[in-house]
């Protein structure tokens, strides 16, 4: 785990918001990002901000219960970030993207509770993986307006052997995490790329690709 100062976290979150928006993975005001801080609190994005136009004033601090420490309103999904920090003490940053591919995959296969990624060279971008000759499971949980419901479903799936440091919320988006922002970015980018590649493969097999 690499805990950050609030100043470091703010500048990092602003930069990652612009990067994700540039990828088309943060449309409208979607997405939320967080970093574990060295004082035991967490930096999170303020609710309702466009992630491609974040300023440092759009990043706030919350305590371990999600309560605001500076009077601002945190993202509605802050509880999901805190659940990951609770379950995985080595996690230092959590990112949530909203790509059309991630959403489309879960809508196309509504009964699946996980998607297997295997044989991809990009698997080596995930922490601890040194070969493409492996497989990881990307858990899928149903969406809910109650974060406790998502947390309960997600926590039981992520402890299974072979689970990726990421999961999908059906018809919603992707969560990914790492020891710091840089690792969390690699996880998000690698998983998003593999999802896009899998969908392209399905399209070719079905004869529907351009």
pLDDT score, position 12: 97
State yes or no: pLDDT of 2 exceeds 80: no
Q: CA-to-CA distance for 202 and 210, rounded, in angstroms? A: 12
The burial class, CB within 10 Å (0-12 / 13-18 / 19+), for 98 is buried
Long-range contacts of 66-71 (CB under 8 A, 24+ apart): 69/41
Mean pLDDT across the stretch 136-165?
89
Flag the least confident range among 17-26, 162-171, 174-183.
Answer: 162-171
State yes or no: pLDDT of 161 exceeds 90: no
State yes or no: pLDDT of 144 exceeds 80: yes
pLDDT in tens, 97-115: 999 999 999 999 999 999 9
pLDDT score, position 198: 93
Task: Please enumerate, by residue number, every residue annotated as part of a binding site.
Answer: 96, 98
Higher-scoring residue by pLDDT: 79, 160: 79
pTM, to two decimals: 0.93
Q: CA-to-CA distance for 2 and 91, rounded, in angstroms? A: 8
- What residue ranges do the domains of the chain occupy? 6-205
Question: Which CATH code, of 3.20.20.80, 3.20.20.70, 1.10.940.10, 3.40.225.10, is assigned to 6-205?
Answer: 3.40.225.10
Q: Are strands 166-169 and 135-141 parallel, antiparallel or unpaired?
A: parallel
Confidence of residue 207 (pLDDT cuts 50, 70, 90): confident
Residue listed under structure tokens 């992707």: 174
Task: Please enumerate, by residue number, every residue annotated as part of a binding site for Zn(2+).
Answer: 96, 98
Question: What is the 8-class DSSP label of residue 126?
Answer: S
Q: How many CB atoms lie within 10 A of CB 28?
A: 9
Mean pLDDT across the stretch 84-92?
95
Cα angle 79, 62, 11; round to 5: 105
Q: How many CB atoms lie within 10 A of CB 189?
A: 19
Q: CA-to-CA distance for 177 and 33, rounded, in angstroms? A: 10
Confidence of residue 177 (pLDDT cuts 50, 70, 90): very high
Higher-scoring residue by pLDDT: 130, 172: 172
pLDDT score, position 208: 60
* Percent of the chain whose pLDDT exceeds 70: 98
Instruction: Give exposure, 128-161, as e/b (b: 16+ Cβ within 10 Å).
Output: ebeeeebebbbbbbeeeeebeebbebbeebbeee
* Percent of the chain whose pLDDT exceeds 90: 80
Mean pLDDT across the stretch 184-191?
97
State yes or no: pLDDT of 166 exceeds 70: yes
| Listed residue (125, 96, 109, 94) closest to 193, CA to CA | 125
- Contact indicator for 17, 45 with CB cutoff of 8 Å: yes
């Amino acid at each position: 785990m690499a805990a950050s100062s609030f100043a470091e976290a703010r500048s990092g979150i602003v930069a990652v918001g612009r990067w994700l928006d540039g990828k088309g993975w943060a449309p409208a005001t979607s997405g939320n990002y967080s970093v574990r801080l060295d004082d035991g609190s967490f930096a999170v994005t303020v609710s309702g901000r466009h992630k491609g136009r974040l300023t440092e004033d759009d990043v706030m601090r919350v305590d371990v219960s999600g309560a605001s420490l500076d009077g601002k309103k945190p993202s509605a999904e802050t509880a999901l970030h805190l659940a990951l920090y609770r379950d995985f003490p080595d996690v230092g940053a959590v990112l949530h993207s909203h790509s059309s591919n991630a959403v489309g995959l879960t809508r196309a296969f509504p009964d699946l509770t996980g998607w297997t990624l295997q044989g991809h060279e990009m698997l080596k971008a995930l922490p601890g993986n040194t070969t493409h000759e492996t497989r990881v499971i990307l858990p899928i949980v149903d969406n809910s307006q109650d974060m406790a419901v998502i947390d309960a479903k997600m926590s039981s799936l992520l402890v299974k052997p072979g689970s990726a440091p990421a999961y999908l919320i059906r018809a919603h988006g992707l969560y990914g995490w790492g020891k710091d922002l840089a690792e969390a970015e690699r996880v998000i980018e690698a998983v998003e790329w593999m999802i896009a590649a899998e969908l392209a493969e399905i399209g070719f097999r079905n004869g529907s690709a351009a």
